[in-house]
Structure 1
Amino acid sequence: MPVNEDRKAVAELLWGLRKPSSRGPRAAFDLDQVADTAVKVADAEGLEAVSMQRIAAELGFTKMALYRYVKDKAELIAVMIEAAVGEAPELGGVTGWRAKLEEYARELSAAWRLHPWLPSITAGDRVMGPRETAWPESALGALAGTPLTERERLEAIMLVSNHIRATHAAATPGTQIWTAGEAGPVMRDLLLRNADRFPLLATTQAVPSPATTREFGLNAILDGLEHAIAQRTPEH
């Protein structure tokens, strides 16, 4: 996270363990409204636009009044994430572990496209809320009937999630030398000028799209899982 967090305090806030303050006048808003307002600012202007001062102004009260809902920016970010992730996918209507993980990956990708700031801020060691925690719980359910060990199932979910995170970042123009962003033509010219040093890149004409890259990588991961599962499944 971009700011330090008191993990115990964040856990109490996200999981409903913190007792509401009885001091002062009745609260004009609830925590969900605070979180939704911050999400809208981040969606429209980027995460850097989110501050305690800005969100308080958007809600029409002072920064000091905002402390009644969240103690600092770390807590504000935490409730933003919990609001933005949305409900975990229901995979019960999909048959087969592979189809379920494909659906999980699609819905995760869709959530991150809706809120482009989410992938970077949800990486790393932090406390998650119940809504966000339901996502890996749902994905693990897809592998419940497989011969993979508990640890392998967790690692499989991490592989899928991290792949979606990586390809989401690659969708930003200019993050790779073959993208169509403003730096693309410049890089292309540099590669041609230095074809002796980078012969493979200089002669490559293909321009992968984020969608095809995401699909290719996901299939490669799932193919590997399918092979591992098949090896451990007794023949009848």
Structure 2
Amino acid sequence: DEVYQENIYDSSLPFHSFKKVLKQMTPEPPLQLVSLHSISKGFLGECGLRGGYMELCGFDPEVQAQLLKLVSIGLCSNTLGQIATGLMVKPPLPGDPSHAAYVAERDGIMASLQRRAQRLVRALNELEGVTCNQPQGAMYAFPSITLPPKAVAAAEAAGKVPDTFYALALLERTGIVVVPGSGFGQKESSWHFRTTFLPPEEDMEAVIQRMSEFHRDFLRQYA
């Protein structure tokens, strides 16, 4: 799954596709690889168009033929999704009339995402009991949170995992949706949540303020 290949915020960590790495291995191992990409992430962010593709490497031709047969008996992808996917894999080239506009829009979106990521992480690290690494890619921050013993006890009494308890309280009081870290296989007795930095740049300060006020109120409530 290589849908985040454009979402890189550290130039010292370039994207390397699985296919590229596989081809560079000597001798090339007899591995089967399915590479997936879509228009739902990157700088396009067109989740609703449902456009994407997969590439098969190292599969027997008969297997590929059967897979094509299976895909062919279903409904085809929507037209707009196919068009957008085609534009993603074949963007304007230098010399094309729209190339300058394409580059400006792409770079502007990526720069904005990086600014939003930096602002969110800075705010999270200013909160008591919260630590967060700077995202190097994708669209998410994954802060670690230290919850007061009374909050952990209240969560257990409610039959909920503590970070789920925290996330539900955040949702109920602010309308902000985060994903509890317990769904990602975190270490026992450690708590996290996953959040995005996708709100429009002009809305980020308001989102950060609501999240910060909630966190301070939560700590006071269970102090």
Q: What TM-score does the superposition give when structure 2 sets the normalisation length?
A: 0.32
* Higher relative helix content: 1
